Amino acid sequence: MDAEKVKKTIVVTGGAGFIGSNFVNEWFSCYPDAQVIVLDALTYAGHLENLAAAQKYAGFKFVQGNIADASCVQAIFAEYQPEALINFAAESHVDRSIHGPGEFIQTNVNGTFNLLECARHYWTQLDAAAQAEFRFLHVSTDEVYGSLEADDAPFTEQHPYQPNSPYSASKAASDHLVRAWFHTYGLPVLTTNCSNNYGPFHYPEKLIPLVIQNALAGKTLPIYGDGSNVRDWLFVTDHCAAIRRVLASGRLGETYNIGGWNEKTNLDVVKTICAQLDALAPRQDGVSYAEQICFVKDRPGHDKRYAIDASKLASELAWKPQETFESGIAKTVAWYLDHQDWVRAVTGGAFDAWVRQQYQ
Protein backbone atom coordinates (compact mmCIF):
# COMPACT_ATOMS: atom_id res chain seq x y z
CA MET A 1 0.00 0.00 0.00
CA ASP A 2 1.32 3.43 -0.84
CA ALA A 3 2.53 5.17 2.31
CA GLU A 4 0.45 8.27 1.72
CA LYS A 5 -2.72 6.22 1.36
CA VAL A 6 -2.46 4.17 4.55
CA LYS A 7 -5.46 4.72 6.81
CA LYS A 8 -4.18 5.59 10.27
CA THR A 9 -7.42 4.71 12.07
CA ILE A 10 -9.75 1.99 10.83
CA VAL A 11 -12.77 0.14 12.17
CA VAL A 12 -12.91 -3.59 11.44
CA THR A 13 -16.26 -5.25 12.05
CA GLY A 14 -16.22 -8.99 12.60
CA GLY A 15 -12.55 -8.63 13.46
CA ALA A 16 -12.52 -11.54 15.91
CA GLY A 17 -13.68 -14.01 13.28
CA PHE A 18 -11.62 -16.02 10.83
CA ILE A 19 -10.84 -13.61 7.99
CA GLY A 20 -11.27 -10.47 10.08
CA SER A 21 -8.74 -11.53 12.72
CA ASN A 22 -6.20 -12.47 10.08
CA PHE A 23 -6.72 -9.05 8.51
CA VAL A 24 -6.24 -7.21 11.82
CA ASN A 25 -3.14 -9.20 12.74
CA GLU A 26 -1.64 -8.58 9.30
CA TRP A 27 -2.56 -4.87 9.35
CA PHE A 28 -0.55 -4.36 12.52
CA SER A 29 2.37 -6.34 11.13
CA CYS A 30 2.38 -3.95 8.15
CA TYR A 31 1.52 -0.76 10.05
CA PRO A 32 2.50 -1.12 13.72
CA ASP A 33 1.64 2.51 14.53
CA ALA A 34 -1.94 2.21 13.27
CA GLN A 35 -5.08 2.36 15.35
CA VAL A 36 -7.57 -0.46 14.74
CA ILE A 37 -10.95 -0.62 16.45
CA VAL A 38 -12.40 -4.12 16.28
CA LEU A 39 -16.17 -4.40 16.63
CA ASP A 40 -17.35 -7.97 17.15
CA ALA A 41 -20.35 -9.56 18.83
CA LEU A 42 -18.27 -12.61 19.83
CA THR A 43 -20.84 -15.11 18.65
CA TYR A 44 -19.87 -18.79 18.41
CA ALA A 45 -17.33 -18.14 15.61
CA GLY A 46 -15.68 -15.02 17.02
CA HIS A 47 -12.91 -15.39 19.60
CA LEU A 48 -10.53 -12.91 21.20
CA GLU A 49 -7.89 -15.66 21.13
CA ASN A 50 -7.66 -15.02 17.38
CA LEU A 51 -6.37 -11.51 18.09
CA ALA A 52 -3.60 -12.34 20.55
CA ALA A 53 -0.96 -10.94 18.17
CA ALA A 54 -2.89 -7.70 17.57
CA GLN A 55 -3.56 -7.08 21.26
CA LYS A 56 0.16 -6.45 21.80
CA TYR A 57 -0.06 -3.18 19.85
CA ALA A 58 -0.92 0.11 21.54
CA GLY A 59 -3.34 1.02 18.78
CA PHE A 60 -5.57 -2.04 19.25
CA LYS A 61 -9.04 -1.37 20.64
CA PHE A 62 -11.84 -3.89 21.07
CA VAL A 63 -15.56 -3.20 21.35
CA GLN A 64 -17.99 -6.04 21.91
CA GLY A 65 -21.17 -5.20 20.10
CA ASN A 66 -23.50 -5.95 17.22
CA ILE A 67 -23.28 -4.20 13.86
CA ALA A 68 -27.08 -3.84 13.94
CA ASP A 69 -26.84 -1.74 17.13
CA ALA A 70 -26.96 1.86 15.88
CA SER A 71 -25.97 3.45 19.18
CA CYS A 72 -22.89 1.23 19.44
CA VAL A 73 -21.73 1.96 15.89
CA GLN A 74 -22.44 5.68 16.20
CA ALA A 75 -20.40 5.84 19.40
CA ILE A 76 -17.41 4.23 17.67
CA PHE A 77 -17.54 6.75 14.84
CA ALA A 78 -17.86 9.64 17.26
CA GLU A 79 -15.01 8.57 19.56
CA TYR A 80 -12.43 7.31 17.09
CA GLN A 81 -13.11 9.33 13.89
CA PRO A 82 -11.96 6.51 11.56
CA GLU A 83 -10.74 6.98 8.03
CA ALA A 84 -12.18 3.63 6.92
CA LEU A 85 -14.55 0.88 7.93
CA ILE A 86 -13.93 -2.67 6.68
CA ASN A 87 -16.99 -4.89 7.12
CA PHE A 88 -16.18 -8.56 7.70
CA ALA A 89 -19.07 -9.13 10.09
CA ALA A 90 -21.41 -11.79 8.76
CA GLU A 91 -23.14 -15.03 9.48
CA SER A 92 -21.37 -17.17 6.89
CA HIS A 93 -22.08 -20.89 7.15
CA VAL A 94 -24.50 -22.21 4.51
CA ASP A 95 -25.56 -25.18 6.64
CA ARG A 96 -26.50 -22.94 9.55
CA SER A 97 -28.40 -20.62 7.19
CA ILE A 98 -30.55 -23.53 6.07
CA HIS A 99 -31.53 -24.35 9.64
CA GLY A 100 -31.86 -20.76 10.88
CA PRO A 101 -32.11 -18.13 8.13
CA GLY A 102 -33.42 -15.39 10.41
CA GLU A 103 -30.05 -14.71 12.03
CA PHE A 104 -28.52 -14.31 8.57
CA ILE A 105 -31.08 -11.70 7.58
CA GLN A 106 -30.58 -9.85 10.86
CA THR A 107 -26.78 -9.70 10.67
CA ASN A 108 -26.01 -9.67 6.95
CA VAL A 109 -28.88 -7.47 5.76
CA ASN A 110 -30.05 -5.38 8.71
CA GLY A 111 -26.55 -5.14 10.14
CA THR A 112 -25.05 -3.92 6.87
CA PHE A 113 -27.88 -1.42 6.49
CA ASN A 114 -27.13 -0.03 9.94
CA LEU A 115 -23.42 0.25 9.21
CA LEU A 116 -24.14 2.10 5.98
CA GLU A 117 -26.49 4.55 7.65
CA CYS A 118 -24.13 5.22 10.55
CA ALA A 119 -21.23 5.65 8.12
CA ARG A 120 -23.27 7.96 5.92
CA HIS A 121 -24.26 10.26 8.78
CA TYR A 122 -20.66 10.32 10.04
CA TRP A 123 -19.26 10.96 6.54
CA THR A 124 -21.63 13.84 5.75
CA GLN A 125 -20.34 15.72 8.80
CA LEU A 126 -16.66 15.49 7.78
CA ASP A 127 -14.85 18.29 6.01
CA ALA A 128 -14.16 17.91 2.30
CA ALA A 129 -10.66 16.53 2.72
CA ALA A 130 -11.75 13.91 5.25
CA GLN A 131 -14.73 12.95 3.08
CA ALA A 132 -12.39 12.35 0.17
CA GLU A 133 -10.22 10.01 2.27
CA PHE A 134 -12.97 7.97 3.93
CA ARG A 135 -13.74 4.45 2.67
CA PHE A 136 -16.42 1.87 3.44
CA LEU A 137 -15.14 -1.53 2.25
CA HIS A 138 -17.68 -4.35 2.24
CA VAL A 139 -16.34 -7.92 2.19
CA SER A 140 -18.62 -10.37 0.39
CA THR A 141 -18.55 -13.78 -1.27
CA ASP A 142 -18.57 -15.46 -4.67
CA GLU A 143 -21.67 -17.39 -3.59
CA VAL A 144 -23.86 -14.40 -4.54
CA TYR A 145 -23.26 -15.32 -8.19
CA GLY A 146 -24.88 -18.76 -7.88
CA SER A 147 -23.53 -21.95 -9.38
CA LEU A 148 -21.45 -22.76 -12.46
CA GLU A 149 -21.45 -25.79 -14.70
CA ALA A 150 -18.17 -27.57 -15.38
CA ASP A 151 -17.52 -25.78 -18.69
CA ASP A 152 -18.74 -22.32 -17.67
CA ALA A 153 -16.30 -19.42 -17.50
CA PRO A 154 -15.43 -18.24 -13.97
CA PHE A 155 -17.43 -15.49 -12.31
CA THR A 156 -16.54 -11.96 -13.35
CA GLU A 157 -17.82 -8.83 -11.64
CA GLN A 158 -20.48 -8.58 -14.38
CA HIS A 159 -21.98 -12.00 -13.64
CA PRO A 160 -25.66 -11.76 -12.59
CA TYR A 161 -26.53 -12.38 -8.98
CA GLN A 162 -28.21 -15.78 -8.59
CA PRO A 163 -27.94 -16.78 -4.90
CA ASN A 164 -29.22 -20.23 -4.01
CA SER A 165 -28.97 -20.42 -0.21
CA PRO A 166 -30.29 -18.19 2.59
CA TYR A 167 -26.66 -17.26 3.32
CA SER A 168 -25.80 -16.22 -0.23
CA ALA A 169 -29.14 -14.43 -0.62
CA SER A 170 -28.48 -12.39 2.51
CA LYS A 171 -25.00 -11.46 1.28
CA ALA A 172 -26.40 -10.56 -2.15
CA ALA A 173 -28.88 -8.24 -0.44
CA SER A 174 -26.08 -6.58 1.51
CA ASP A 175 -24.05 -6.08 -1.68
CA HIS A 176 -27.01 -4.35 -3.31
CA LEU A 177 -27.41 -2.05 -0.32
CA VAL A 178 -23.75 -1.04 -0.49
CA ARG A 179 -24.06 -0.28 -4.20
CA ALA A 180 -27.22 1.77 -3.63
CA TRP A 181 -25.61 3.88 -0.89
CA PHE A 182 -22.87 4.82 -3.35
CA HIS A 183 -25.17 5.70 -6.23
CA THR A 184 -27.84 7.43 -4.12
CA TYR A 185 -25.84 9.15 -1.40
CA GLY A 186 -22.29 9.19 -2.78
CA LEU A 187 -20.91 7.21 0.16
CA PRO A 188 -17.37 6.15 -0.91
CA VAL A 189 -17.77 2.38 -0.94
CA LEU A 190 -15.82 -0.60 -2.27
CA THR A 191 -17.00 -4.22 -2.47
CA THR A 192 -14.94 -7.39 -2.68
CA ASN A 193 -16.31 -10.84 -3.53
CA CYS A 194 -13.95 -13.62 -2.51
CA SER A 195 -13.74 -17.35 -3.13
CA ASN A 196 -13.46 -19.96 -0.36
CA ASN A 197 -10.87 -18.92 2.23
CA TYR A 198 -8.75 -21.25 4.32
CA GLY A 199 -5.87 -20.93 6.75
CA PRO A 200 -5.17 -20.17 10.44
CA PHE A 201 -8.07 -19.45 12.82
CA HIS A 202 -10.65 -21.01 10.49
CA TYR A 203 -13.55 -22.08 12.71
CA PRO A 204 -13.72 -25.89 12.69
CA GLU A 205 -17.28 -26.14 11.35
CA LYS A 206 -15.94 -25.48 7.83
CA LEU A 207 -14.66 -28.26 5.56
CA ILE A 208 -10.87 -27.98 5.86
CA PRO A 209 -10.51 -27.54 9.63
CA LEU A 210 -13.32 -30.02 10.28
CA VAL A 211 -11.54 -32.68 8.23
CA ILE A 212 -8.24 -32.02 10.01
CA GLN A 213 -9.81 -32.32 13.45
CA ASN A 214 -11.97 -35.34 12.63
CA ALA A 215 -8.99 -37.12 11.13
CA LEU A 216 -6.85 -36.57 14.21
CA ALA A 217 -9.73 -37.69 16.45
CA GLY A 218 -10.24 -40.92 14.49
CA LYS A 219 -13.69 -39.82 13.33
CA THR A 220 -15.22 -40.11 9.87
CA LEU A 221 -14.45 -37.40 7.32
CA PRO A 222 -17.89 -36.43 5.99
CA ILE A 223 -18.19 -35.24 2.39
CA TYR A 224 -21.50 -34.11 0.91
CA GLY A 225 -22.86 -36.08 -2.03
CA ASP A 226 -20.14 -37.67 -4.13
CA GLY A 227 -17.52 -35.00 -3.39
CA SER A 228 -17.54 -33.60 -6.92
CA ASN A 229 -18.58 -30.04 -5.95
CA VAL A 230 -15.86 -27.59 -6.99
CA ARG A 231 -14.60 -24.55 -5.10
CA ASP A 232 -11.86 -22.01 -5.79
CA TRP A 233 -9.58 -21.88 -2.73
CA LEU A 234 -7.92 -18.68 -1.50
CA PHE A 235 -5.36 -18.63 1.31
CA VAL A 236 -6.51 -16.12 3.90
CA THR A 237 -3.35 -13.99 3.94
CA ASP A 238 -3.62 -13.58 0.16
CA HIS A 239 -7.17 -12.35 0.70
CA CYS A 240 -5.99 -9.88 3.34
CA ALA A 241 -3.33 -8.51 1.00
CA ALA A 242 -5.93 -8.04 -1.72
CA ILE A 243 -8.25 -6.14 0.61
CA ARG A 244 -5.41 -3.82 1.62
CA ARG A 245 -4.76 -3.15 -2.06
CA VAL A 246 -8.42 -2.44 -2.82
CA LEU A 247 -8.73 -0.19 0.22
CA ALA A 248 -5.70 1.81 -0.89
CA SER A 249 -6.33 2.13 -4.60
CA GLY A 250 -9.69 0.66 -5.61
CA ARG A 251 -12.04 2.79 -7.71
CA LEU A 252 -15.00 4.06 -5.70
CA GLY A 253 -18.26 2.20 -6.22
CA GLU A 254 -16.49 -0.73 -7.87
CA THR A 255 -16.56 -4.44 -7.09
CA TYR A 256 -13.40 -6.54 -7.16
CA ASN A 257 -13.41 -10.32 -7.28
CA ILE A 258 -10.69 -12.00 -5.22
CA GLY A 259 -9.85 -15.59 -6.09
CA GLY A 260 -7.01 -18.03 -5.68
CA TRP A 261 -7.06 -19.59 -9.17
CA ASN A 262 -7.23 -22.95 -7.34
CA GLU A 263 -10.30 -24.95 -8.37
CA LYS A 264 -10.56 -28.24 -6.49
CA THR A 265 -13.30 -30.77 -5.89
CA ASN A 266 -14.21 -31.30 -2.26
CA LEU A 267 -12.99 -34.87 -2.54
CA ASP A 268 -9.60 -33.72 -3.86
CA VAL A 269 -9.32 -31.24 -0.98
CA VAL A 270 -9.99 -33.92 1.61
CA LYS A 271 -7.56 -36.36 -0.01
CA THR A 272 -4.87 -33.66 -0.05
CA ILE A 273 -5.40 -33.01 3.66
CA CYS A 274 -5.18 -36.73 4.35
CA ALA A 275 -1.88 -36.97 2.49
CA GLN A 276 -0.48 -34.04 4.49
CA LEU A 277 -1.54 -35.63 7.77
CA ASP A 278 -0.15 -39.00 6.67
CA ALA A 279 3.23 -37.31 6.34
CA LEU A 280 3.13 -35.02 9.38
CA ALA A 281 1.08 -36.97 11.95
CA PRO A 282 0.63 -40.54 10.70
CA ARG A 283 -1.87 -42.90 12.25
CA GLN A 284 -0.38 -45.41 14.64
CA ASP A 285 -1.70 -48.29 12.54
CA GLY A 286 0.04 -47.00 9.42
CA VAL A 287 -3.25 -46.70 7.48
CA SER A 288 -3.96 -43.52 5.53
CA TYR A 289 -6.41 -41.03 6.96
CA ALA A 290 -8.21 -41.33 3.61
CA GLU A 291 -9.72 -44.55 4.92
CA GLN A 292 -11.87 -42.40 7.22
CA ILE A 293 -13.62 -40.65 4.29
CA CYS A 294 -17.37 -41.18 4.11
CA PHE A 295 -20.06 -39.66 1.93
CA VAL A 296 -23.19 -38.17 3.51
CA LYS A 297 -26.51 -36.90 2.20
CA ASP A 298 -25.99 -33.77 0.12
CA ARG A 299 -27.09 -30.40 1.50
CA PRO A 300 -30.24 -28.83 -0.04
CA GLY A 301 -29.48 -26.51 -2.96
CA HIS A 302 -25.78 -27.39 -2.94
CA ASP A 303 -24.07 -25.25 -5.60
CA LYS A 304 -22.08 -27.35 -8.04
CA ARG A 305 -19.12 -25.10 -8.77
CA TYR A 306 -17.67 -21.72 -7.85
CA ALA A 307 -14.79 -20.16 -9.75
CA ILE A 308 -13.51 -16.58 -9.54
CA ASP A 309 -12.01 -14.56 -12.37
CA ALA A 310 -9.72 -12.12 -10.53
CA SER A 311 -8.37 -10.51 -13.73
CA LYS A 312 -9.78 -7.08 -12.89
CA LEU A 313 -7.93 -6.99 -9.58
CA ALA A 314 -4.74 -8.17 -11.27
CA SER A 315 -4.89 -5.67 -14.13
CA GLU A 316 -6.07 -2.59 -12.19
CA LEU A 317 -4.30 -3.08 -8.87
CA ALA A 318 -1.45 -5.51 -9.70
CA TRP A 319 -2.54 -8.13 -7.16
CA LYS A 320 -2.11 -11.87 -7.47
CA PRO A 321 -2.11 -14.65 -4.86
CA GLN A 322 1.23 -15.71 -3.44
CA GLU A 323 0.15 -19.17 -2.29
CA THR A 324 -0.71 -22.17 -4.42
CA PHE A 325 -3.23 -24.56 -2.95
CA GLU A 326 -0.42 -26.99 -2.25
CA SER A 327 1.67 -24.46 -0.30
CA GLY A 328 -1.35 -22.98 1.47
CA ILE A 329 -2.80 -26.31 2.60
CA ALA A 330 0.61 -27.40 3.89
CA LYS A 331 0.79 -24.25 6.03
CA THR A 332 -2.80 -24.75 7.17
CA VAL A 333 -2.37 -28.37 8.27
CA ALA A 334 0.85 -27.50 10.07
CA TRP A 335 -0.86 -24.58 11.86
CA TYR A 336 -3.68 -26.79 13.16
CA LEU A 337 -1.24 -29.43 14.33
CA ASP A 338 0.64 -26.73 16.24
CA HIS A 339 -2.48 -25.05 17.67
CA GLN A 340 -4.57 -27.82 19.15
CA ASP A 341 -5.02 -25.72 22.31
CA TRP A 342 -6.79 -23.09 20.19
CA VAL A 343 -9.06 -25.74 18.67
CA ARG A 344 -10.02 -27.05 22.10
CA ALA A 345 -10.70 -23.52 23.31
CA VAL A 346 -13.17 -22.69 20.52
CA THR A 347 -14.98 -26.04 20.24
CA GLY A 348 -16.64 -28.59 22.49
CA GLY A 349 -20.14 -28.71 23.93
CA ALA A 350 -22.61 -27.08 21.56
CA PHE A 351 -20.17 -27.27 18.66
CA ASP A 352 -19.73 -31.03 18.96
CA ALA A 353 -23.47 -31.53 19.21
CA TRP A 354 -24.06 -29.43 16.10
CA VAL A 355 -21.52 -31.40 14.06
CA ARG A 356 -23.05 -34.72 15.13
CA GLN A 357 -26.51 -33.50 14.15
CA GLN A 358 -25.37 -32.07 10.83
CA TYR A 359 -23.45 -35.08 9.56
CA GLN A 360 -25.16 -38.03 11.19
**CATH code at 146?**
3.40.50.720
pLDDT surpasses 70 at 2: no
Q: Does 353 map to a domain?
A: no
Catalytic machinery residues: 142-143, 167
Q: Does 272 map to a domain?
A: no
pLDDT surpasses 90 at 193: yes
Q: Does 350 map to a domain?
A: no
Q: Does 92 map to a domain?
A: yes
How many other C-beta atoms can be found within 10 angstroms of the C-beta atom of residue 263? 19
Range of the domain at 113: 7-201+234-263+303-324
Mean pLDDT score of the chain, rounded to an integer?
A: 94
Q: How many domains does the chain have?
A: 1
pTM score, whole prediction? 0.95
Q: Does 274 map to a domain?
A: no
Q: Does 283 map to a domain?
A: no
Query: ∠ CA 188-257-3 to the nearest 5 degrees?
Result: 55
Q: Does 158 map to a domain?
A: yes
User: What confidence category does residue 91 fall into, taking pLDDT thresholds of 50, 70 and 90?
Assistant: confident
Which is higher by pLDDT, 6 or 72?
A: 72
Helix axes 325-338, 266-280, angle to 10 degrees: 50
Answer yes or no: are the C-beta atoms of 331 and 323 closer than 8 Å. yes
pLDDT surpasses 60 at 265: yes
Q: Does 223 map to a domain?
A: no
Q: How far apart are CA 205 and CA 357, in angstroms?
A: 12
**Mean pLDDT, residues 178-194 taken together:** 98
Which amino acid type is present at position 349? Answer: G
